Structure 1
């Protein structure tokens, strides 16, 4: 094991993605326009949280405070050391706001013990604390001690800082007026480290960042990352075998690895750390932001928005663009995910005309519900244009079912088809053709799926060539009727846009590919079959018995253009995005042994269907 300093690999993963925006904007000197102050703010239990404050040098007027609480460091530390860019975007930075960064409890220069997705405590008494009280106490101090503030506070953050932004809504300080959770985690059983109970092996290396605790403030990284000595993640994980063999990389001192192993089911440990159930009677204005191709936190933003929408009558809006994790905070002239191009200057348009407008309206303007922004601002990833909706999902959408028929066809009605395939844990279906070792996967969300369609252990069902545009909006439900010769199985469903044969290549298209007949993945997800009836109480399959397996794929806003085809793929392995299922039932897959992994035959029946919401079908 070796100590990895924060700059380098993690600089790209966290500093740009989570802490702000890209560094390619026109020259603007923070040091010439802002003063920096570092303070340690005492919480109600006496623990001090390290906080960095950037205040405009122009003191002729009052400014709102915009704060980010982060586990990824409020650096740079030390007098005279300033960030080159601050705030959610360059427009808010240049026009003048008080920008605050804070190391959360137990991370970097803050005191205390870190708790991964610390559980919320309702009705706290005395010195009881959680992230809500830490946020409240911090805002209270900032309002009372920072000169030239106008008494209004906003919070924002991407990914884990997005989780802390969501948390600021609980027991919110009266001064908190505007909150923008962006790609916020909401529940680790459905975001990041699990999808519907399936463990995301592809995030295994990130365990090092969250798993090692520290007892004193530190301005350098204290966590360790394993040396893998491989550039082929598929082969690396296949050679290592069962999850239990990975214990040699993470010992008992990695608290999060132990938690993952000890809590394979959706028990109280995970439930208590979820935040959705607490989003009630929200008062501040909220703008939830996400990427339609965010491989890490797609579940959270959609469900946070819906939970807040049900909870009260505060201002609540949703923005989803053609982005991967954190792309909206960058300023790429061409927005692309992997091989697929979506348009020009999309992130800059968002920063200038949506994000800045939101914060200015609620922190500097009237703060009325008439913000000038729609209820839902969603990018159509097929038409390549923004859509504005009065509700999400759109109320005018109509439900349609596509049944998984024989001869690779999607049918309008159920059939008596039975399609089988052999799932072999020794030769799992890759999630990507790329041969590399990635820290967290992203590009695969729009990857070409032809390589999978041509495998015998991937079932393909598709429409004829579309004669009219077909727009799918909102969540997609997979309702499978299946059987297996074993007692355990995972089920993966992918929704794919098949391009016409004459589709032109993009600048971003990999050299070995062509966009003609490109199988673009639009949406995909997995369920660990043992959780088909309950995430709390797993159960085996009865061998060779037809069984219902239903789960939700996250929302889309995608037009399948005339001349394209809608395709559905069904498979059982997706490696090493998710770990391998032994396909024989064991109580805890983290403790499965090599002999538990067996080749099995799976069957998908013709009354299986995919339920979608269609916006423009005649």
Structure 2
């Protein structure tokens, strides 16, 4: 009986297979025709052909009814379609709710918005190279770069967008801010204005990859995700919730890279092969490149005073370009109270620090909007050459230049862990501490999470309370008396540190801090807050030459000099000034083993040793901070 049933089932199956195939069981249309009724813009996708035949994927958002409209171009490695794909609303301002979009002023200005994937990313063709060096730099074997791609793109735009007036402006933040800089190299005649915001300029001196030779190892996950795949689809994996532990277990930054497969990434290998400021870095530093170029396009450089990613670049380019601006109408600068990219977001506060206003919205409407409209639509403009926010009093200032000839004043590190504007009396004296690589000073309290924009942990860490560091025995803390009059600085404080180490290499971290009164009104939680006005790191092996590292002579007081980021700040009466000195800033920066090795990326476990650090605080070589004081 069972055999009979099986035979019947087999026959039925064969008969069913012999029948005609059923129609597709699929509810999707063969081609979707999106609903666009009531939309106030047209969205177009075009692959623009470059001079070498590579096609770059480009998104166009054209306001309905646009005529004689200027074009605002952003080139990005962060997915042009995603940055313009809020299709849940037919309103252009909603579609622009993405990175790099100052949507409010772009929509109000009636601009045609164009966003393009750079070569090798997302839907653009070609190979990808991080901040592709320029043709002729000696670092690019091809005949194309971001400058030529920008030229070719603009040429296509002005010939193929009948709604435009033939004028193009370019703007962007961070990597996208690097793109408006390279657009200035042999610029297309239709490029009428460039707005680099928080641009990547010099990856060794003080932007994303190093600060004065100290490696910013927390960017490892960005490097992996950005380079490993065209569409950032392979996420970096962390093996610890507290990444302090992940880096400590690995040892050196190079060992960490090997564990996580980063040695497969071409850019990572370049980093590890060029730890010093050699021609690899110098040949692609955009401030140096633009200093050698004629100035043909008006530029507004936008700098965030508490930029946790690219705090070096914009002021450096300003210093390179401003001497070329003989008529005073080509080079503009903004210094705002923001973290990286905050100028297009809410600007009421940075972490715990309130600015008593939305400083980002004010800037967009009173500076960025009229600046763009002037050069792209011939509208009148009343924008100062320099627009600088002055923290402490929390007010915008209109300046003719940056800085406006401040007077240098020495703020001395003195015995008794004090600070003062007069040198200490008496014989030479030092303040000492032991730096132990096994217990590095963290840049934020633990647990340390990966970089991200979900909260203030990464975005606003430069404004976080420094009392956590001040409580450590391996951090020297010097504090002034309570101020009875305001102290105003505008410019770059310069560290002049005289110090010795028992090791043969050392890092030096110096912080300039505004200490709030012990009791504060309204915001009582801010009582005693230690607000960093400026801080940075210097790797001691580069004391004599940034390109040629040398061992440090043990136990010999030596001079170290380096600039802190620009500041425009008023230390108010009732506050105190503080300076902190330490020798690690982990895990943001890799640990200095404190033993000289040819390449710290590949330091061995036995290279990491304790060192006794001695900072000179009295005598002929007393340490001090040179403050740019203004009246």
TM-score after normalising by structure 2: 0.86
Instruction: Assess, with a 3 A threshold, how the Cα gap between structure 1 residues 258 and 127 changes in structure 2: closer, same or farther.
Output: closer
**How many residue pairs end up in the alignment?**
569
What value does the CA root-mean-square deviation take over the aligned residues? 2.3
The reply to whether residue 569 of structure 1 matches residue 576 of structure 2 is no
Shift of 1:160: 0.5
Residue of structure 1 equivalent to 2:20: none
Residue of structure 1 equivalent to 2:410: 401
Once residues 95 and 360 of structure 2 are traced to their aligned partners in structure 1, the CA distance between those partners, rounded to angstroms, is 16
Once residues 391 and 211 of structure 1 are traced to their aligned partners in structure 2, the CA distance between those partners, rounded to angstroms, is 39
Shift of 1:169: 1.0
Q: How does 1:488-527 map to 2 (within 5 A)?
A: 488-504=505-521, 506=523, 514-527=525-538
Q: How does 1:208-357 map to 2 (within 5 A)?
A: 208-212=224-228, 214=230, 220-222=231-233, 224-246=234-256, 247-279=258-290, 280-313=293-326, 315-331=330-346, 335-357=348-370
Residue of structure 2 equivalent to 1:48: 55
Once residues 285 and 414 of structure 1 are traced to their aligned partners in structure 2, the CA distance between those partners, rounded to angstroms, is 45
Residue of structure 1 equivalent to 2:21: none
CA contact (8 A) 2:282 2:288 kept: no
Deviates more, 1:469-478 or 1:446-455: 446-455
Once residues 394 and 411 of structure 1 are traced to their aligned partners in structure 2, the CA distance between those partners, rounded to angstroms, is 24
The reply to whether residue 71 of structure 1 matches residue 88 of structure 2 is no
Residue of structure 1 equivalent to 2:435: 423
TM-score after normalising by structure 1: 0.88
The reply to whether residue 478 of structure 1 matches residue 478 of structure 2 is no
Deviates more, 1:204-213 or 1:46-55: 204-213
The reply to whether residue 161 of structure 1 matches residue 170 of structure 2 is no
Tell me the secondary structure at the aligned position of residue 343 of structure 1: coil
Over residues 127-170 of structure 1, what are the superposed CA-to-partner deviations in whole Å (9 max), with x where a residue is unaligned?
82211111111101100111121111100001100000111111
Shift of 1:561: 0.3
Instruction: Assess, with a 3 A threshold, how the Cα gap between structure 1 residues 72 and 123 changes in structure 2: closer, same or farther.
Output: closer
Once residues 422 and 189 of structure 2 are traced to their aligned partners in structure 1, the CA distance between those partners, rounded to angstroms, is 55
Instruction: Assess, with a 3 A threshold, how the Cα gap between structure 1 residues 31 and 495 changes in structure 2: closer, same or farther.
Output: farther
CA contact (8 A) 1:398 1:614 kept: yes
Residue of structure 1 equivalent to 2:214: 198
Instruction: Assess, with a 3 A threshold, how the Cα gap between structure 1 residues 203 and 252 changes in structure 2: closer, same or farther.
Output: closer
Shift of 1:465: 0.6
Structure label with greater radius of gyration: 2
Tell me the secondary structure at the aligned position of residue 271 of structure 2: helix
CA contact (8 A) 1:113 1:213 kept: no
Tell me the secondary structure at the aligned position of residue 375 of structure 2: helix
Q: Give every structure 1 segment of 4 or more consecutive aligned residues whose post-TM-superposition deviation is greater than 6 Å.
A: 77-80, 123-127
Tell me the secondary structure at the aligned position of residue 206 of structure 1: helix
Unpaired runs of 5+ residues, structure 1, are 1-28, 215-219
Once residues 137 and 262 of structure 2 are traced to their aligned partners in structure 1, the CA distance between those partners, rounded to angstroms, is 37
Once residues 237 and 146 of structure 2 are traced to their aligned partners in structure 1, the CA distance between those partners, rounded to angstroms, is 33
Once residues 84 and 344 of structure 2 are traced to their aligned partners in structure 1, the CA distance between those partners, rounded to angstroms, is 26
Once residues 73 and 478 of structure 1 are traced to their aligned partners in structure 2, the CA distance between those partners, rounded to angstroms, is 41
CA contact (8 A) 1:120 1:275 kept: no
CA contact (8 A) 1:212 1:255 kept: no
Tell me the secondary structure at the aligned position of residue 273 of structure 1: coil
Residue of structure 2 equivalent to 1:33: 40
CA contact (8 A) 2:226 2:232 kept: no
CA contact (8 A) 1:114 1:213 kept: no
